[in-house]
Amino acid sequence: MSYKYILFNKPYNVLSQFTDNIDESNQRQTLKDYIPVSSVYPVGRLDRDSEGVLLLTNHGQLQHRLTNPKFAHPRTYWVQVERIPDDAALRKLQQGVTIKNYQTRPAKVKLLSAQPKFPPRDPPIRFRKTVPTAWLEITLTEGRNRQVRRMTAAVGFPTLRLVRVAIASLHMNELQPGEWRDLNQTEIESLKQIVFENTKK
């Protein structure tokens, strides 16, 4: 079997699936509107209101390892939040916070010194002249439903915009919203090494 590996920069308001099974009367945008490749499936998901890199493949074992919490792998997000988090809030995020009776794993969290040069979001985030915003880099090794948004809300800094910039060794780099590309051989081997930890592929 020939395996396919695709990296996609998912725009805002696009479902992380190829069909819209919920709203047939008002079809929402799906992966099918962007990726004309058959027999590949997204590894995990990004919420409709989140943006950034999404990996698609037909390699079932790799897909299983990347989505099973037992085989933790890093996912990095750049997150715009309302107001400027202080050191205490950053420490809480790093140590783990309680969300719906669940304690999140420790995370890597830092305040970005400059605003990322992402294209403007359509529609734009809500803007309030009197309320500043900040960008955080958050790296998790788990991917529970709406976890990043719930984590920042738990420490008092609601998420305004969420962009995933990396999955394991795969980075967004120059990939623009709505664009996709095949992984090169170096990226595929690096990903397999991370996922399978040098065991037999």
CA 168 remoteness from chain centre: 11
**Torsion angles phi and psi, residue 171, rounded to 5:** -120, 150
CA distances from 41 to 9, 19, 56, 151 (A): 15, 12, 5, 28
For residue 177, the SS3 value is: coil
User: Is 79 within 8 Å of 159 (Cβ atoms)?
Assistant: yes
**CA-to-CA distance for 106 and 73, rounded, in angstroms?**
13
CA atoms within 13 A on the CB side of 34: 26
Question: Known catalytic residues?
Answer: 47
Task: Report the largest interatomic distance among the alpha carbons of the chain, rounded to a whole angstrom.
Answer: 57
Amino acid identity for residue 39 in this structure: S
For residue 100, the SS3 value is: coil
